[in-house]
Structure 1
Amino acid sequence: MSPYTPPSAYASTSSSSPPLGNPSSLGSTLGRLLSRKRRKYLGIVLFVGALLAVWDVNLRREAGEWDEGGVATGAGGGLGGKLWGDIDLGKLRSGVFGSGRVVVEDEEDAVVPGGGGLSVDHDHHNPTSHSHPVQSINGRHPVKNGLLYVDLSLPAAKHPIYQLIDDAKKEWDAKVAKQSKTLGEAVKEYGKRNKGRKPPKGFDKWWEYVKTHKVTLPDEFDLIMRDLNPFLAYSPSSLRAHVRKMTGWKDTFTVSIRGGKAEAKQILTLASHLFLRSKNYNPEKIGGSNDRVAGQLAHIEAVAKWIPDMDAVFNIHDTPLSFVSAAHKAELAELVEEGEFFDPEEEADRSFSTWGAACPISSPLHTLHPTLGTDPSSLLPNLTALNVPFTPSKLFTDPSTKSFISSLVQNMDLCNHPDIIPLHGTTSGTKPEPQAELMPIFSLSKTGLHSDITVVPMEQWGEKQSGDVKPFKEKGEKKLLWRGRNTGAFYSNSTPWRSFHRSRLAALAMDNIKESIAVLPAPLSQSEDEQKGSLEKATVMTEEGKLNQRLFDIGLAYEPTQCSTEDGTCEEIIKELPARKSLTFEEENEFQYILDVDGNSWSARYKRLLSTGSLILKSTIFPEWWNDRMQPWLHYVPVKVDYGDLYDIMTFFRGDGVHPGEEHLAQMIADSGNAWSLSSWRKDDMTAYMFRLYLEWARLLALDRRSMDFEYKGEP
């Protein structure tokens, strides 16, 4: 097991580590604004701004909102007031943000709270989402930003999971039906999705591979373009120079293709006994690192002959490296639109230092960072509030807070879901500083706030489950299973470890919790007349410990790891979260329901779990290569990071202990997930992704990018 490496920016500015640089000043920001052809518009903007300011003052004077000394008497006046005046610094320091109501775009008349705002529930000392009064339309629960918000006024027969499963089937069928069937159609679809750009050279060979190996959904590779588009703002020469510099960085390796042959390159140094050893990383300290390198080469051994010469620098660790501000990403996007290149001598905008710095200014998460940027001590109240033993919060006791994930991809957009930040070990209790430049680094995992280039990991992958797969109905254990170590971050008195995703999961599943929580009714528990009543009336309060005994077999396994022995945190973990018996794969496969959650990064066990024939519930914040190629509620069941939906999900499928649940739907999803893993998570499918990624990357590195376009000359 490799040592835990936090997904944070490097502090060193030496040539052997990623550069951090110094935060940009107002002067450097203005310098960027005054450069390039944008400066010709600046005079007009300033002139119009001055006129608007005068007009605003006159209006305020007429309305009595401006005193004779020229001071606005109303709160939040003018442009500056709009951006800053509405922010309650006291609330920000206590961890409350993102409240308010917004119109649901999917359902025009539905109303839900904005952004899934976070609050610290000081009664229970647990972070909770604000309650969300909702209004349905056409008898449907409203959906916003990847979440379905439960409308408790709907009839009890309209359990939200029915809607989620029905919508998932329709969405999947529509996606499958519209996939390209010929090379000409694929070229046309590529142009539609990429602003008219042509595919990269070698696209025809990639298409031939896809069709020969029966790779499904050949149009669904948008994640590649989302990762690579910012690098269009770099000239080929500056991007090449950046890659050359990075090949010497610590804890990296380089996949190099020359003349159709792929190899892993590392800088070697003379070690003891005249042996050569990698200078980039030490495989003895980073367990499995050599296998990680070999796995990436295995992806492309059969297709390297069709990939142009290129170098790709990989992060050897399983945590992300690249974190730049949204302002810088917006600047790069603007340069791409203008057909200009970023000056590598300039420094990226780094005005703020929080997770919100990676988000657009209009997003809920971004609104947190003005306070944190000026007052780092504002993190302390959250640290105190979050790092206390678990008790049920409003997420579990207040039925008006209930929601479910409808789109995992949208839910992993942390800019729109700031409530996730303090609930996951990767983001909780940290205050990252944006880096001075965008790094072309290929990584095994990242969050939506990072800018690493996503690749396909090979860890724990197998074509299919070893041994016989027991059918869902024949599995003897009907509880939800999870076992794992206390990974996810470093556990100490200086970190809010009790709020981390794995420790919270183990804590909420304890059998001795006496408080009662609100649970939606089992779908088959009401008479015909009762089903006409509201979901709110049908919701029942049940003692959490008893629910845990009936529904869950969840707990940490083994001795604590990644924790401080010096301050006693390891001992606290042992006392508060005693380890449960570890299970063999054979014992694990006896469970009908298995939960998969993140560790230090993505979960390497997910593929194997899908192949068990069990229903897999998944909670994650890490986008992966398969996200656009799988369908939640059809191949697996998504679970929120706060776990506020877990009891309702299990009650829906398992029943309430007296009345049955929809076990046949659980079996259908389990079977679909297993079938998908066998048909669409093969070595061929992973190769298709990496093949396409490398074709795009090789074009970005080409000195003449247009010469690396694929020219289609066949029938449309």
Structure 2
Amino acid sequence: MGFPPRPTRCLRYILTALLLTLTLHFLTASDTIASWVWPLTGANKHPIDALIQAAEREFAAKLSKSTQTLAAAAAAYRKRRGRHPPPWFDKWYKFATEHGAIIVEDFWDQIYHDLEPFWGVQPAQIRKDARDFEMRIQIRDGKASTESDWWWTQIWLNMIQTIEHLLPDMDVALNPMDEPRMVVPWEDIEVYMKRAAKTRRTADVRSVVSDFSPLPPVGEASQEHHGDAQPIEWEHDEHYWPIARRGCPPDSPARLAEVITDFDKPPSIASPFSLAHMRNGYVANYTLSTDFCQQPDLQALEGIFVEPLSTSATKSLIPLFGGSKLFRNNDILLPSPIYWSEEDRFIGAEGASIPWASKHSSALWRGVATGGRNRETNWRAFQRHRFVAMNNASLLAQRADPPPNFALPDKRYALPAAAQADLPGWIARTTDVAFTEMVCLYEGFTPTCNYTAPYFAPVENVPMADMFQHKYLPDIDGNSFSGRYLGFLRSTSVPVKATLFREWHDARLVAWKHFVPMDPRFGDWWGILGYFLGRDREGTADKVGERIALAGREWAGRVLRKEDMAVYVLRLLLEYGRVMDDRREVMGWVEDLRQEL
């Protein structure tokens, strides 16, 4: 339950939104829009050029923080985390270096974002919630096991078994759903974080405990007393936006905006809420672009907010692990089973090495019409439907005003002359975007549906390996994250990533260096196409695309390997083992400091 917004905040929100809307309208309508899009300092200067240069600097700054010794890694940990490293940190470091991992403390930021609130929960409660969850992996005496035969659990078990000998006793609760599960109210998280802050200190070296407590054998009843522990309640509401937004600050646009319930009309695409993470029409802050708390219009533009495929959410903070989550979910991230299993349909390794010069100068996307439960009254609010429709030359040629579920390019984007003269023809020549199957709620789940038949004609699937024959590969969220992202990054094509989901590897990747980011509204898609596949800008655009493709491939080969996933999970579970231990505030690895003493 949230605090009621104060009238002054509501008024300020309304006035700000109105001002931004008027500003955006003026900029869009202005004949001098090109000068606002990018101040020219040269004949070929483009806003994407500046973003790429900034990305190069950001990536160099990340690499400059790499550590080469155990003592340096421990020092970087204490500086960034405010605590001693967990017990067995030396074992983690040895495992990481033996497997060729690059040690940059920033790479593990997601772990601490996920686990920090649990420092405000009693360890016994964490242990109970993990032990009682129906789907879990147990680790005892260096051996991992599970009673679940769900395929995701089996893959996660295989992952953990590669490091089981380095792990303390624990129970790991797992989310079997595509969708994330926890949305703890922002006000409650603030309480947990304040409690956690009181524990953040580097304990006196002489009092530090350097080992973990054992747990009772699997199946043996615990004798622990849990006080007034409340049962976990699960919500199954079809409309997810009211659930999701409770994780936002009370004065955020998402909490203040009116809840939309009518999706049976063309959505509003041009929004001032994107300006905070955009610069001159393109994504400049990728992390902020995934924070829906600042973008309440997304409640009518993303299937998960409208009606997810399945909803089972809770306000309780429990130690639940999963493969992806929205920015304000409280699930603990593991590498997805799809990434660990490396199935060819998601990785496409056979075609991943096609030389850039041998590829088609075009963008390709194939996929199923997922994103949630699309119906006759809500399909216009689904992101994949929007992206496919705006790349449909036949729909563009109809010149509907407004289009059924997307927005035509505005003057923020200086499209090439060919696109200005014949947008449908230009899109037909530069993109190949289509659904392979329509999954809709019409007489149950069916492969085709009457209400979208006028807009979409499913085509044959393209195997993942064949997708790499194209230079640009858009990656669009489905029911949750897109499982093809790792395969795209490992290829010689450029991933064009639009997402609201967070994954374990986000801190390792730099937008505009390793991939091209795209706003979740997709309005900048026109400009991205124009930059890379429009006028050639003396041949430089194609070279820029190749450089991003190869940089992403090379970097993925260094920090997104299965070995890197194991290194990440080992560190995550050592931290998790500490936070659930009653002695956690005096636990740590301090051998380097003891040697100094």
TM-score interval w.r.t. the shorter chain? 0.7 to 0.9
Identify the residue that residue 96 of structure 2 maps to in structure 1.
Answer: 210
Matched residues in 2 for 1:661 and 1:82: separation?
Answer: 50
Alpha carbons of structure 1 residues 491 and 198: separation in structure 2 relative to 1, 3 Å: same
Cα contact 2:307–2:373 (8 A) shared by 1? no
In structure 1, the residue matched to 2:368 is: 485
| One-letter identity of the residue aligned with 1:81 | P
Q: CA offsets per residue over residues 217-276 of structure 1, 9 Å max, x none?
A: 431101011011111111111222222232x3xxxx21111011111234xxxxxxxxxx
Partner of 2:550: 671
Structure 2 partner of 1:76: none
Whether 1:83 aligns to 2:1 is no
Q: Report the counterpart of residue 48 of structure 1 in structure 2.
A: none
Stretch deviating more after TM superposition (295-304 or 547-556): 295-304
Q: Is structure 2 residue 534 aligned with structure 1 residue 652?
A: no
Q: State the match for 1:308 in structure 2.
A: 168
Q: Aligned pairs, how many?
A: 536
Q: Which amino acid aligns with 2:294?
A: N
Instruction: Name 2:144's counterpart in structure 1.
Output: 262
1:575 Cα offset (Å)? 3.0
Query: 1:157 and 1:656 mapped to 2: Cα distance?
Result: 11
Distance 1:226 1:244, change over 3 A: same
Tell me if 1:564 matches 2:448: no
Which of 275, 285, 295 pairs up with 1:407?
285
1:471 and 2:331 matched: no
CA deviation map 1:253-311 (0-9, x unaligned): 21111011111234xxxxxxxxxxxxxxxx6xxxxx32x22221222323211211111
| TM alignment of 1:114-153, pairs within 5 A | 130-131=24-25, 151-153=37-39
Task: Name structure 2 gaps, 5 residues minimum.
Answer: 29-33, 201-225, 236-240, 273-277, 400-407
Higher relative contact order (CA 8 A, sep 6+): 2
User: Is the contact made by 1:615 and 1:669 (CA closer than 8 Å) also made in structure 2?
Assistant: yes
Which of 362, 369, 391 aligns to 1:509? It is 391
2:265 is equivalent to residue 385 of structure 1:
yes
Residue identity (%): 25
- What are the Cα deviations for residues 300-343 of structure 1, in whole angstroms up to 9, with x where unaligned? 32321121111110011221111111111112112223459997
Contact 1:234 1:342 (8 Å CA) reproduced: no
Deviation at 1:131? 4.7
SS at match of 1:703: coil
Q: Distance in 1 between matches of 2:124 and 2:413?
A: 62
- Equivalent residue for 1:362? 251
In the alignment, which residue of structure 2 is the partner of 1:498?
A: 380
Q: How does 1:192-341 map to 2 (within 5 A)?
A: 192-194=79-81, 196-219=82-105, 220-246=107-133, 248=134, 253-266=135-148, 289-290=150-151, 292-338=152-198
Q: For 2:48 and 2:88, how far apart are their aligned partners in 1?
A: 43
In terms of fraction of residues, the more helix-rich structure is: 2
SS in 2 for 1:665: helix
Q: Evaluate the alpha carbon distance shift between residue 421 and residue 312 of structure 1 in structure 2; reply closer, same or farther with a 3 A threshold.
A: same
**AA of the residue aligned to 2:292:** L
Alpha-carbon spacing, 1:342–1:443, altered in 2? closer, same or farther (3 Å) = farther
Amino acid in the other structure paired with 2:245: G
1:419 aligns with 2:282: no
Q: Secondary structure at the match of 1:616?
A: strand
Query: Could you state the TM-score of these two structures normalised by the residue count of structure 2?
Result: 0.80
Looking at structure 1, the residues matched to 192 and 290 of structure 2 have their Cα atoms a distance apart, in angstroms, of 23
Quickly say closer, same or farther: Cα 1:659–1:25, change in 2 above 3 A.
Answer: closer
Q: Structure 1 85/428 Cα, relative in aligned 2: closer, same or farther at 3 Å? A: same
1:546 is displaced (CA, Å) by 2.4
Is the partner of 2:364 in helix, strand or coil?
A: strand
The partner residue of 2:577 within 698, 704, 707 is 698
Q: Is contact 1:315-1:442 (8 Å) kept?
A: yes
Among candidates 52, 61, 66, match of residue 174 of structure 1: 61
Instruction: Measure how far apart 1:132 and its partner are.
Output: 8.2
CA 1:433–1:596: 2 relative to 1, 3 Å: closer
Flag the 1:677–1:519 CA change in 2: closer, same or farther, 3 A.
farther
Go from structure 1 to structure 2 and tell me whether the alpha carbon gap of 1:179 and 1:606 turns closer, same or farther (over 3 Å shift). same
2:483 alignment partner, SS class: coil
| Rounded Cα–Cα distance in structure 2 between residues aligned with 1:132 and 1:465 | 47
Partner of 1:270: none
Decide whether aligned partners of structure 1 residues 567 and 393 sit closer, same or farther in structure 2, where only a CA change above 3 A counts.
farther
CA distance, structure 2, for counterparts of residue 81 and residue 320 of structure 1: 33
Matched, 1:183 2:70: yes
CA distance in 1, matches of 2:271, 2:315: 40
* Distance of aligned partners of 1:401 and 1:543 in 2 relative to their CA distance in 1, 3 Å threshold: farther
C-alpha spacing 1:686/1:298, structure 2 compared with 1 (3 Å): same
Structure-1 residue corresponding to 2:49: 162
Secondary structure, in 3 states, of the residue corresponding to 1:449? coil
The DSSP-based 3-state class of the residue aligned with 2:373 is coil
- Residues 573 and 304 (structure 1 numbering): CA distance in 2 closer, same or farther, change over 3 Å? same
- Matches of 1:649 and 1:712 in 2, distance apart? 51
SS at 1:415's partner residue?
helix
Query: CA shift at 1:80, angstroms?
Result: 4.4
- Counterparts of residues 75-114 of structure 1 (less than 5 Å): 80-84=6-10, 99=17, 113=20
Query: 2 CA distance for matches of 1:437 and 1:415?
Result: 20
TM-score by length of 1: 0.68
What is the distance in 2 between the residues matched to 1:611 and 1:87? 43
| 1-structure distance, mates of 2:128, 2:589 | 25
Look up the match of 1:579: 458
Alpha-carbon offset, residue 427 of structure 1: 1.5
Task: Give the Cα separation in 2 of the matches to 1:345 and 1:683.
Answer: 39
The match for 2:431 is: 552
SS of equivalent to 1:576: coil
Matched residue type, 2:519: K
Aligned AA (2:184): V
Structure 1 portions without partners, runs of 5+:
1-22, 27-78, 89-96, 102-112, 120-128, 135-140, 142-148, 267-282, 284-288, 373-378, 526-537
- Cα pair 1:402 1:644 within 8 Å, conserved: no
Amino acid at match of 1:691: L
CA separation in 2, counterparts of 1:24 and 1:401? Answer: 32
Structure 1 residues 458, 479: closer, same or farther in 2, change over 3 A?
A: same
Deviation at 1:522, TM superposition (A): 7.1
